């Protein structure tokens, strides 16, 4: 299609980040100011971290911006239809209904669910907690418990804070052991590292080795030196056996970590019970290969062990997450260049709240029906449907979702859909009328990523290189539109009979208390009042960010003559700032009670009994199990309405190994019926030896054929919802995180 010629003066290049995934690549958005439209989205070669790299999804930002199905006005349910209404009417209705339910049944009758995009929007991240606090409920849920919750639990127990998560120093390592991650499709997770294809290529070019452990020969496994097929859900066995060999062969070498690491002997004892010979039949990896792998890890000058979704969304997710870092410690690779290191974000540590040292925020309350534990203020989402349907006299009666699609993304989505239907009131802050929001009484849409400023708060704290980048909005906020943070604060204010401004000021006050005006804060000599004055006229998340940056490790501490960082200075660096490679920072950044690394925290040690029991009980599993997979052109459940990404061949297919296909009578191009304890579906079959025999794979985030949605592009190629098969009873018992991989299924021709 020929592009309309435009006068040069009408074209503006806006340098910012793509916020769709954790890589946060620098993009240059070419904006036609005459029509306020996107002409193109290109990689920004001057971004110091991504250096021009982008993936196909970046172009999807244009499609998202222009999508006629995307919601621009609040919707209110009238009978079984939706009607556009004004903001005041919509917000008042939400506040009124929530208040009434709270008065009648207590605050815990309201549940909240925060989805993944909140982590990619600094406004929602900064004000999400304010919003939840305003509702007063402890029934808070999020996508964390279908994702990285186990890693947060293990990091908190070992290092003292849920987001103190070490990231692999991919650019300097000599040996990278990857378990359950496919960064060539996902572009990396709990590891912000734009251009993983380039980074992994350079790792190998400098003589480093890449080993991938995965039940599927993934895109990443294909470019590795070696790929090891592993039976789903058995990572903790493999990792424990590696630990076993390190001790047995006296290859444990903590180096300087020895001075402040506790629990080494305890780990040695625990690992005794997991020799390679015992775990080999379960994992599918031979004892000999496990032994040599341990030696390779120990012998590499600099090595990093890294585990992701495949290791967290499984039965032993927290143990596997812990053992990944145990290996990093035992080989002396934690906190050293080329190993696994802690980022130092310009806006401060991941967990700035002065929490009581050492107290793990775990199981302070539990879900009513199944008694699943709270962690860091949240309950596992696998409990949500039960809390609505089964909680007797005190069930959850209302739900507020914020940028989440739990019907497609949480286990037993079919049951959750029935639960949502039964609720007294549902409000959704979302930009689509989709599988979840169709159950809403009110939908509150927000601006798009390109209409918002951003700063990757969460992802600078997980980056393989320190940096800071300000992303200016490419478009002004449309008239009558609201940013997510504005919607959250409006609800927070109205539900308590105050205003958004009051809720905003309270958030600022809380942050001021920990950053200025008292001993131990970054700016002890500056009063909160003075700081407030200096931060004006900024508002909203910009004001909080300016405060964090100025009080942060590179900040100007409110001394305008100093050359430290402030938001204004950061914004002037149009392509972002590089703040150098990760640097050793232990023991200073540890927040455990002892001040050291807890290698054998009680919480985790207690869970080893469960693993031991499974080892005793289980022979090599021979039933068929289902795992998931991510695809480059897909983004969880919500970019399937963008034609540029959705076009092309059918992607929601069941991958089956040829031997299994033969045994089950499945033909390539045919269709298979897949059944689990909780549901069934029919999917097209692809036969491929990239699967481990006995394992089938289906991507998640599809299933767009539900009635009452408004996603016309996605509906044309709906695919199936893999979470109709995942089981809400399947959890990692310690964290409560959902098991989304290794689901027992039966498969037959359809």
Ligand X SMILES: Nc1nc2c(c(=O)[nH]1)N[C@H]1C(S)=C(S)[C@@H](COP(=O)(O)OP(=O)(O)OC[C@H]3O[C@@H](n4cnc5c(=O)[nH]c(N)nc54)[C@H](O)[C@@H]3O)O[C@H]1N2
- The binding site for ligand SF4 (CB under 6 A) comprises 18, 20-21, 23-25, 54-55, 57-58, 187, 194
Of 30-38, 445-453, 544-552, 601-609, the window that binds ligand X (rule: CB under 6 A) is 445-453
Q: How far apart are CA 747 and CA 750, in angstroms?
A: 9
Which of the listed partners (ligand X, Mo ion, ligand SF4, none) does 627 bind, with a CB threshold of 5 to 8 Å by partner kind? ligand X
Let me know: does 593 contact 358? Beta carbons within 8 Å: yes
User: For residues 455 and 122, is the Cβ–Cβ distance under 8 A?
Assistant: yes
As measured in angstroms, the least distance from the Cβ of 143 to ligand X is 4
Binding mask 217-246 for ligand X (x = CB under 6 A): -x-----------x-xx-x-----------
User: Tokens for 301?
Assistant: 């000058």
Residue nearest to ligand X (CB): 310
**Comparison of 487 and 590: residue with beta carbon closer to ligand X:** 487
Q: Which sign, positive or negative, has the C-alpha torsion 128, 132, 135, 379?
A: positive
User: Which of ligand X, Mo ion, ligand SF4, none is residue 314 near (CB under 5 to 8 Å by kind)?
Assistant: ligand X
Residue 301-340 contact track with Mo ion, rule CB under 5 A, x = bound = ----------------------------------------
Contact between 147 and Mo ion by CB under 5 A: the answer reads: yes
Among 405, 412, 709, 735, interactor with ligand X by CB under 6 A: 405
Q: 112 or 635, CB closer to Mo ion? A: 635
If binding is defined by CB under 5 A, does position 22 make contact with Mo ion?
Answer: no
Q: What is the DSSP letter of 454?
A: B
Residue 180 as a binder of ligand X (CB under 6 A): the answer is yes
Tell which positions 470-499 bind ligand X, by CB under 6 A: 484
Residue 279 contact among ligand X, ligand SF4, Mo ion, none, beta carbon within 5 to 8 Å by kind: none
Q: Which of 400, 384, 437 is nearest to 93 (CA)?
A: 400
- 680-687/671-675 β-pairing: antiparallel
The rounded distance, in Å, linking the Cα atoms of 674 and 373 is 31
The partner in contact with residue 709, picked from ligand X, Mo ion, ligand SF4, none with C-beta cut-offs of 5 to 8 angstroms by kind, is none
Helices (H), 188-275: 196-205, 219-222, 235-248, 264-272
- The residue range among 140-148, 296-304, 518-526, 587-595 that interacts with Mo ion, by the rule CB under 5 A, is 140-148
User: With 0-12 CB in 10 A as exposed, 13-18 as middle and 19+ as buried, what is 632?
Assistant: middle
Q: Which of Mo ion, ligand SF4, ligand X, none does residue 25 bind (CB under 5 to 8 Å by kind)?
A: ligand SF4
Least distance to ligand X from the beta carbon of 190, Å? 8
Q: Where are the beta strands (DSSP E) in 261-302?
A: 261-262
Q: Does 634 bind ligand X (CB under 6 A)?
A: yes
736 is an interface residue for ligand X by CB under 6 A = no
User: Over 700-721, what HEC string results?
Assistant: CCCCCCCCCCCCHHHHHCCCCC
Q: Which is nearer to ligand X, 597 or 624 (CB)?
A: 624
Between 515 and 635, CB nearer to ligand X: 635
> Which of ligand X, ligand SF4, Mo ion, none binds 230 (CB below 5-8 Å, type-dependent)?
ligand X
CA distance to 63, 102, 385, 427, per residue, from 443 (Å): 21, 20, 21, 6
454 binds ligand X (CB under 6 A): no
Task: Provide, rounded to whole angstroms, the least separation between the CB of residue 2 and ligand X.
Answer: 31
Map the footprint of ligand X across residues 92-121, applying CB under 6 A: 115-117
Closer residue to ligand X (CB): 95 or 458:
458
Place of tokens 């298979």: 672
- What ranges in 563-694 are assigned the alpha helix state H? 567-572, 602-617, 643-646, 658-664
Residue in this structure with the two tokens 């980074």, named with its chain if needed: 199
Q: Whose Cβ is closer to ligand X: residue 344's or residue 637's?
A: 637
The residue (of 344 and 676) whose beta carbon lies closer to ligand X is 676
Of the candidates 109, 181, 285, 548, which one interacts with ligand X according to CB under 6 A? 181
User: Which residues are CB-neighbours of 527 under 8 A, at least 6 positions away?
Assistant: 516, 517
- Binding-site member from 112, 137, 189, 507 for ligand X (CB under 6 A): 189
Length of the chain: 750
Say which DSSP state 398 is in: E
Q: Is 321 in the site for ligand X (CB under 6 A)?
A: no
The yes or no reply on residue 621 touching ligand X (CB under 6 A) is: no
* Closest to ligand X by CB, 252 or 681: 681
432 is a site residue for ligand X (CB under 6 A): yes
CB neighbours (10 Å) of residue 120?
22
Cβ atoms < 10 Å from Cβ of 539:
12
Taking the C-alpha atoms of residue 260 and residue 610, their distance in angstroms, rounded to an integer, is 29
Scanning 127-135, 360-368, 430-438, 511-519 for contacts with ligand X by CB under 6 A, the matching segment is: 430-438
Q: Which is nearer to ligand SF4, 26 or 742 (CB)?
A: 26
Instruction: Please give the Cα distance from 123 to 303 (Å, whole number).
Output: 36
Minimum distance of ligand SF4 from residue 26's CB (angstroms): 9
Residue 58 binds which of Mo ion, ligand X, ligand SF4, none (CB < 5-8 A, kind-dependent):
ligand SF4
Cα–Cα distance for residue pair 637/3, rounded to 1 Å: 31
Sign, Cα dihedral of 689, 694, 697, 703: positive
Contacts of 410 (CB under 8 A, 6+ apart): 146, 381, 382, 384, 416, 723, 728, 738
Options 29, 213, 334, 508; binder of ligand X; rule CB under 6 A: 213
Of 164, 308, 336, 469, the one binding ligand X (CB under 6 A) is 308
Structure tokens at 16: 């910012």
616 class by beta-carbon count within 10 Å (0-12 exposed, 13-18 middle, 19+ buried): exposed
Would you call 617 exposed, middle or buried from its count of C-beta atoms within 10 A (0-12, 13-18, 19+)? Answer: exposed
The piece of 141-149, 163-171, 591-599, 674-682 that touches Mo ion (CB under 5 A) is 141-149
Minimum CB separation of residue 150 from ligand X in Å reads: 12
Least CB distance from residue 55 to ligand SF4, whole Å? 3
Least distance in Å: CB of 65 to ligand SF4?
A: 14
* Minimum distance of Mo ion from residue 147's CB (angstroms): 4
How many CA within 13 A on the CB side of residue 7?
5
Q: Quote the least distance from Cβ 17 to Mo ion, whole Å.
A: 18
Q: How far is the CB of 201 from ligand X (least distance, A)?
A: 17
Q: Does 740 bind ligand X (CB under 6 A)?
A: yes
Contacts for 659 with CB less than 8 Å, ≥ 6 apart: 693
Name the residue nearer to ligand X (CB basis): 98 or 691.
691
What contacts 553, CB < 8 A, 6 or more positions away? 344, 345, 346, 348
| Binding residues for ligand X, total number by CB under 6 A | 65
CB contact at 8 A, 626 and 44: no
Sheet holding 398-402, edge to edge: 81-84, 75-78, 442-444, 425-429, 398-402, 110-114, 140-142
Report the C-alpha gap between 88 and 211 in whole angstroms. Answer: 55
Q: Does 628 bind ligand X (CB under 6 A)?
A: yes
- Residue 611 binds which of ligand X, ligand SF4, Mo ion, none (CB < 5-8 A, kind-dependent): none
Query: Taking CB within 5 to 8 Å according to partner kind, which of ligand X, ligand SF4, Mo ion, none is near residue 185?
Result: ligand X
Instruction: Determine phi and psi for 37, rounding to 5 degrees.
Output: -135, 160
Distance from C-alpha of 15 to C-alpha of 234, rounded to nearest angstrom: 44
Task: Please list every residue from 656 through 715 that binds ligand X, using CB under 6 A.
Answer: 700-701
Which residues are CB-contacts of 433 (< 8 A; sequence separation ≥ 6)? 69, 71, 75, 82, 443, 708, 709, 710, 711
Residues that bind ligand X (CB under 6 A): 21-22, 115-117, 143, 146-147, 179-183, 185-187, 189, 213-216, 218, 230, 232-233, 235, 308-311, 313-314, 403-406, 409, 429-432, 434, 446, 448-449, 484, 627-632, 634-638, 700-701, 722-723, 726, 740-742
Residues that bind Mo ion (CB under 5 A): 147
């Amino acid at each position: 299609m020929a592009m309309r010629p435009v006068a040069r003066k009408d074209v503006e290049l806006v340098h910012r980040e793509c916020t769709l995934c954790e890589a946060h690549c620098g993009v240059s958005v070419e904006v036609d100011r005459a029509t306020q439209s996107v002409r193109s989205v290109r990689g920004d070669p001057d971004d110091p971290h991504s250096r021009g790299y982008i993936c196909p999804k970046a172009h999807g930002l244009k499609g998202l911006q222009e999508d006629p199905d995307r919601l621009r006005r609040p919707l209110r349910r009238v009978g079984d239809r939706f009607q556009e209404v004004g903001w005041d009417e919509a917000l008042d209705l939400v506040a009124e209904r929530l208040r009434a339910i709270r008065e009648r049944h207590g605050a815990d009758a309201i549940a909240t669910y925060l989805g993944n995009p909140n982590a990619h929007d600094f406004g929602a991240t900064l004000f999400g907690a304010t919003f939840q606090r305003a509702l007063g409920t402890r029934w808070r849920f999020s996508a964390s418990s279908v994702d990285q919750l186990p890693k947060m639990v293990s990091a908190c127990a070992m290092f003292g804070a849920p987001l103190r998560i070490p990231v692999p120093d991919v650019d300097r390592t000599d040996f990278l052991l990857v378990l359950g991650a496919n960064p060539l499709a996902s572009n990396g997770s709990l590891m912000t590292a734009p251009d993983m294809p380039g980074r992994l290529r350079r790792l190998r070019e400098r003589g480093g080795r890449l080993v991938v452990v995965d039940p599927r020969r993934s895109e990443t496994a294909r470019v590795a030196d070696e790929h090891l097929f592993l039976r789903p859900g058995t990572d903790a066995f493999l990792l424990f056996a590696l630990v076993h060999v390190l001790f047995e062969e006296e290859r444990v070498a903590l180096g300087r970590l020895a001075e402040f690491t506790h629990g080494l002997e305890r780990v040695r004892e625990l690992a005794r019970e997991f020799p390679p010979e015992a775990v080999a039949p379960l994992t599918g990896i031979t004892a000999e290969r496990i032994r040599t792998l341990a030696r390779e890890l120990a012998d590499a000058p600099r090595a990093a062990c890294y585990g992701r979704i495949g290791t967290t969304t499984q039965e032993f997710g927290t143990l596997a997450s812990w053992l990944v870092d145990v290996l990093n410690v035992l080989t002396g690779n934690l906190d050293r260049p080329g190993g696994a290191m802690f980022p130092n974000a310009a806006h401060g540590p991941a967990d700035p709240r002065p929490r009581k040292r050492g107290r793990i925020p775990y199981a302070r309350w539990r879900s009513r029906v199944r008694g699943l534990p709270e962690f860091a203020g949240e309950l596992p989402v696998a409990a949500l449907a039960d809390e609505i349907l089964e909680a007797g006299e005190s069930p959850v009666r209302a739900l507020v979702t914020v940028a989440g699609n739990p019907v497609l993304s949480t286990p037993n989505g079919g049951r959750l859909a029935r639960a949502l239907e039964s609720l007294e009131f549902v409000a959704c802050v979302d930009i689509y009328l989709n599988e979840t929001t169709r159950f809403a009484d009110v939908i509150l849409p927000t601006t798009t990523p390109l209409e918002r400023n951003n700063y990757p708060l969460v992802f600078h704290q997980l980056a393989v290189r320190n940096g800071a980048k300000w992303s200016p909005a490419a478009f002004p906020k449309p008239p009558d539109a609201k940013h997510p943070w504005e919607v959250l604060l409006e609800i927070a204010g109205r539900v308590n009979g105050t205003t958004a401004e009051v809720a905003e000021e309270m958030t600022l006050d809380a942050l001021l208390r920990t950053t200025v005006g008292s001993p131990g804060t970054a700016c002890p000599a500056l009063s909160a009042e003075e700081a407030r004055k200096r931060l004006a006229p900024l508002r909203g998340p910009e004001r909080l960010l300016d405060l964090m940056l100025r009080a942060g490790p590179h900040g100007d501490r409110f001394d305008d003559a100093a050359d430290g960082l402030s938001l204004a200075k950061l914004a002037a660096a149009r392509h972002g700032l590089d703040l150098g490679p990760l640097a050793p920072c232990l023991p200073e950044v540890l927040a455990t009670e002892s001040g050291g690394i807890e290698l054998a925290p009680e919480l985790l040690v207690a869970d080893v009994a469960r693993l031991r029991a499974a080892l005793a009980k289980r022979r090599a599993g021979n039933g068929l199990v289902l795992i998931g997979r991510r695809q480059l052109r897909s983004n969880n459940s919500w970019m399937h309405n963008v034609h540029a990404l959705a076009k092309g061949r059918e992607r929601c297919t069941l991958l089956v190994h040829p031997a299994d296909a033969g045994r089950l009578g499945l033909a390539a191009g045919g269709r298979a019926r897949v059944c689990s304890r909780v549901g069934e579906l029919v999917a097209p079959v692809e036969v491929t030896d990239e699967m481990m025999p006995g394992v089938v794979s289906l991507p998640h985030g599809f299933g767009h054929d539900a009635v009452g949605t408004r996603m016309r592009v996605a509906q044309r190629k709906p695919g199936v919802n893999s979470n109709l098969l995942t089981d809400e009873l399947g959890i990692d018992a310690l964290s409560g995180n959902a098991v989304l991989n290794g689901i027992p299924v039966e498969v037959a021709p359809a």
